[in-house]
Amino acid sequence: MLKSSELLSDVMLAPHEERPAEPDFGAPVRGKLRVQIRTCSPTGNWIVLVRVLEIKSANRRRV
């Protein structure tokens, strides 16, 4: 089993997903993230798929 630090350093995108040249995430968000992680090794190279399921923002907007 890989450690979480090793896991995060080797994350790759699945071939069918497109990655924007300059992703725009808007304002920084502090909060909790719920993700689903899948690993597979079809050709001997480990691929880690991470899908964001839910973002619970801790930011509070001031009006």
Tokens of 37: 């992680």
| Number of domains present in the structure of the chain | 1
The answer to whether residue 11 is domain-embedded is yes
The answer to whether residue 25 is domain-embedded is no
Q: Which domain holds residue 34?
A: 1-15+30-63
Q: pLDDT by residue (tens digit) across 4-50? A: 444 444 445 555 555 555 555 565 556 676 777 777 776 767 666 77
Are the C-beta atoms of 29 and 59 separated by less than 8 Å?
Answer: yes
The answer to whether residue 50 is domain-embedded is yes
Q: What is the reported pLDDT for 19?
A: 52
Q: How far is CA 30 from the centre of its chain?
A: 15
Q: What is the reported pLDDT for 20?
A: 52
The answer to whether residue 7 is domain-embedded is yes
Q: What is the reported pLDDT for 50?
A: 73
Q: What is the reported pLDDT for 43?
A: 73
Amino acid at 52: V
